């Protein structure tokens, strides 16, 4: 089966919803994973392809001691400045798209799972590239608690990030499949197992 014929699933959810945990569960069951965050980290690592343009646009102070993008500093900057955020996206998004297409062409698995944090926010661009949209869902209070525990970000910063993303209702309105991640890992794994079987069946029909 060629890359163009493969079943393509878009996986998304708000910050702290548990996209990475869900992607890991799908990967363990045989899905081919292409993760936008992983690609973005590669592009903004020391010597990454995006770094020269980012330094030119925002200055050397956006780098950490290793020469990688200081993501916390950049996050604080762009979430308080919509023009800066648009400039950041104009640099990163084309490079991320190119790298993801390249990764997808080499990925091996029963079907292709694109993990994209802002998929719903850029749905017009993504719809032609996916066959189904799967949303990882949980209450906003749980998102905030998870992000606080893992990152130490201030509640105000987390709330500002959530405010720039699609709402929970907006994501659910366009979802083909929904994974409820408000429970424990066992409940999460059970849902992934069911969806994985469904996706394998659909992939076989392709």
Which domain, by its residues, includes 25?
1-31+111-206
Choose the final residue of a domain: 52, 77, 108. Answer: 108
151 plus 52 within the same structural domain: no
Which strands sit side by side in the sheet containing 32-35, from one edge to the other? Answer: 32-35, 112-115, 8-12, 132-137, 177-180
3-state secondary structure (DSSP) of residue 35: strand
104 plus 85 within the same structural domain: yes
Chain segment 109-162, per-residue pLDDT in tens: 999 999 999 999 999 999 999 999 999 999 999 999 999 888 877 888 888 888
pTM: 0.89
The CATH number that applies at residue 115 is: 3.40.50.300
Q: Which mean pLDDT values do the consecutive 10-residue runs of the chain (206 residues) have?
A: 73 94 97 95 95 94 92 82 91 93 92 95 93 96 90 81 90 97 96 97 86
Chain segment 141-151, per-residue pLDDT in tens: 999 999 988 88
45 plus 96 within the same structural domain: yes
Please give the tally of structural domains in the chain: 2
139 plus 172 within the same structural domain: yes
3-state secondary structure (DSSP) of residue 171: helix
122 plus 154 within the same structural domain: yes
127 plus 187 within the same structural domain: yes
201 plus 133 within the same structural domain: yes
136 plus 165 within the same structural domain: yes
101 plus 167 within the same structural domain: no
**Cα–Cα distance measured from residue 12 to residue 135, given in angstroms and rounded to the nearest whole number:** 5
Percent of the chain with pLDDT over 90: 75
Dihedral angle computed from the Cα positions of residues 115, 41, 78 and 65, in that order, rounded to the nearest 10 degrees: 160
27 plus 73 within the same structural domain: no
Q: How many CA atoms lie within 13 A of 98 on its CB side?
A: 9
Both structure tokens of 152: 């130490």
Both structure tokens of 154: 């201030």
Q: How many helices (H) and strands (E) does the chain have?
A: 10, 5
145 plus 93 within the same structural domain: no
3-state secondary structure (DSSP) of residue 51: helix
């Amino acid at each position: 089966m060629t890359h163009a014929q493969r079943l393509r699933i878009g996986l998304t959810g708000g910050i702290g919803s548990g996209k990475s945990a869900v992607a890991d569960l799908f990967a363990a069951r045989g899905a081919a994973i292409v993760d936008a965050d992983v690609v973005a980290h590669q592009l903004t690592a020391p010597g990454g392809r995006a770094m020269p343009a980012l330094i030119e646009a925002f200055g050397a102070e956006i780098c950490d001691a290793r020469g990688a993008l200081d993501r916390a500093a950049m996050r604080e900057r762009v979430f308080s400045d919509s023009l800066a955020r648009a400039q950041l996206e104009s640099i990163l998004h084309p490079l991320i798209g190119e790298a993801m297409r390249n990764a997808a062409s080499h990925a091996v698995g029963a079907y292709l799972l694109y993990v994209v944090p802002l998929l719903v926010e850029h749905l017009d661009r993504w719809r032609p590239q996916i066959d189904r949209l799967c949303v990882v869902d949980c209450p906003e209070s749980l998102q905030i608690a998870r992000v606080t525990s893992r990152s130490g970000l201030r509640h105000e910063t987390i709330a500002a990030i959530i405010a720039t993303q699609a709402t929970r209702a907006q994501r659910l309105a366009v979802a083909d499949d929904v994974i409820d991640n408000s429970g424990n890992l066992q409940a999460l794994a059970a849902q992934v197992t069911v969806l994985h079987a469904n996706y394998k069946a659909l992939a076989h029909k392709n």
